[in-house]
Structure 1
Amino acid sequence: MNSIEAEKKKLWRYMPLISLLGFLQTRELRFSRADKFEDTQEGYVGLEALLSTVPPELHEKAKQALHRQNLECFVSCWHLSSSESLAMWKIYGANAFSVAVVSNVGKVISACHDYCADLSAAGMFGEVVYDNYVSDGTLNVQALGLPFGYKELPISKSILTLFMKAKAFSYEQEWRVVLNEKSVSEPAIRVPIGDIEEFVEHVYVSPEAPDWMVSSIGSLVRDQFGLSRISVSKSPLAKHFGI
């Protein structure tokens, strides 16, 4: 697959309606600091894999780097798929007041690249690995994109562990961007996305939502926020719920 085809891959963010309204208002992506994730093993699942690729005398240094990176790295998580997922609706859109925002790899990368170019920040993006963390003595992260950012700042090898998760999470089919910004102490950072009508390809409303809610959300997007080019419709999976 060439880079143009890769950039056109669909990305999905399942979220409560209130999060959509905040996104439309700020026109920014929220990146959570890695140590603030609900999964307490975030960034640590790949520790053993990381240590297996460095000399024993560097193990303690690698462990320290891993702990430090979770205080300096900020993550935006997406579902990578050509179509919507019923499982993701059930987990991340747990009620009728939920939506899924669709964009693509190229648009998310572009927004992050612009952000890093304006600041002393750097980042990396790609698919999460759920098993076989080490291949031929190196970390198995072939799906990752090249580092990007301010003057192509060097990225610590330990950051690759933020692209490793337990196999139990493989249903997420996660694609993520990790930004490394040492000067920030806040629990999250926000990345402007530019033209939101270009960034958002579609907004799907929960398959369990009543029709009046779908219509109301469409009116909000179109009239309240003035975003007439963003299509809003009910999830095609609604037929599985008999609604």
Structure 2
Amino acid sequence: MQKMTHRLTTELRRLAFEHHDHCVSCNYKFKEADTSHLGYSQNDKPLYVCDHCSAQLKETAVRHYFMPRPYEVPDPSSKLWRYMDFTKYAALLSSGALYFARADCFEDTFEGAKGLRRNKARWDEHYLQFFREAIKNPPEGHECELSKSEIEEQAQKLLRDLESGGELQRKRTFVSCWHESEHESEAMWRLYSSFIDNAVAIRTSYQSLYTALGRNPSINIGRIEYIDMKRNYAGVNDAFWRKRKSFEHEREVRAIFSDFECQKTGKLTPCDLNVLIEEVFVSPRAPSWFVALVNDINDKYSIKVKVSPSELVEEPFF
């Protein structure tokens, strides 16, 4: 078996990210616990392959224990919306960057939560038992020589580390939230614009968002899954991709990355706005001159995009 070189170029990381579920050579669909191989062919072409195709690698950069993504990736053409006040829209254009908020600063105090506090005892016992068994049954070639009390002490420490790691991860995780829908949403206008007379909605797509962020393999983009936390938990790797059922109306797609250095409550991430913004809609309660104002600021920052009145102002007949 080749020694891993850990030479991970952006091109190789991007290939593995975009083809996460499949071997790029034979299209084999990976299953959990399979090994995926990242490396380079004889002509130094990046490859992301299965065990069967790993012989094609002249160089193995790294091997991974394959795990399915903790989120569902939308279709490339899925429509995504971001509703905001005009001042935030102006700030977006001025900075040329998308704002990602730190997870522990969200109004929803359950952001990144694994479950309800009153159900934590069951969670703790599950992981304590898992840690006990892992300590008692080390990898082949090693023996456990710890006493029962030492095993318990180590298991309890691992549980404490797991909990403190969850709290710390909230301060390392940065999120940009979008609403997935084929149509404009009256409810989203009211929920996400503090002054609805002076608000806009950006419409993009999954592919445009991914491309505008530079096809960055460090930024994950996927759908939130809404769960009943009275009966279920979010897994260790799932917490930022699970929310309570009471938020289901949001139909959220989010972009997430981790930053271990940033201490700020949010982070501006460079973004190609002419790729990101496919169309801008103005609030259904905006005055008639507001479309001209949005067009003016778009011209100022060389944003070539259609600005449309809200679809909700169409007149009915009876």
Aligned residue number for residue 92 of structure 1? 192
Structure 1 pair 161–182 and aligned structure 2 pair: CA distance change class (3 A): same
Cα separation, 2, equivalents of 1:239 and 1:205:
13
Structure 1 pair 173–207 and aligned structure 2 pair: CA distance change class (3 A): same
Question: RCO higher in 1 or 2 (8 Å CA, sep ≥ 6)?
Answer: 1
What do the CA deviations read for 1:121-157 (whole angstroms, capped 9, x no partner)?
x34321111115799x995xxxxxxxxxxxxxxxxx6
> Could you list the runs of 5+ residues in structure 2 that have no partner in the other structure?
1-18, 20-72, 129-154
Matched, 1:106 2:207: yes
Structure 1 pair 240–133 and aligned structure 2 pair: CA distance change class (3 A): farther
Matched, 1:36 2:105: yes
Contact 2:211 2:275 in 1 (8 A): no
Contact 1:51 1:59 in 2 (8 A): no
Cα separation, 2, equivalents of 1:76 and 1:31:
5
Cα separation, 2, equivalents of 1:75 and 1:102:
18
What do the CA deviations read for 1:187-236 (whole angstroms, capped 9, x no partner)?
11111112x222210010001112111222223212x2232x21111111
Task: Give secondary structure in 2 for the equivalent of 1:7.
Answer: coil
Contact 2:214 2:271 in 1 (8 A): no
Pairwise CA distance, 1:11: 0.9
Structure 1 pair 185–115 and aligned structure 2 pair: CA distance change class (3 A): farther
Aligned residue number for residue 302 of structure 2? 226
What does 1:1-243 align with in structure 2 at a 5 Å threshold?
A: 6-44=75-113, 46=115, 51=123, 55-56=127-128, 57=155, 58-94=158-194, 95-112=196-213, 114=215, 122-131=218-227, 158-194=236-272, 196-222=273-299, 224-227=300-303, 229-239=304-314
Identity %: 28
Question: Comparing 41-50 with 164-173, which one deviates more in the overlay?
Answer: 41-50
What do the CA deviations read for 1:35-80 (whole angstroms, capped 9, x no partner)?
1111122111547699489622454332222101001110110101
Cα separation, 1, equivalents of 2:288 and 2:187:
22
Q: Number of matched residues?
A: 213
- TM-score, scaled relative to structure 1: 0.76
Cα separation, 1, equivalents of 2:219 and 2:230:
22
Cα separation, 2, equivalents of 1:83 and 1:53:
45
> Could you list the runs of 5+ residues in structure 1 that have no partner in the other structure?
117-121, 140-156
- TM-score, scaled relative to structure 2: 0.60
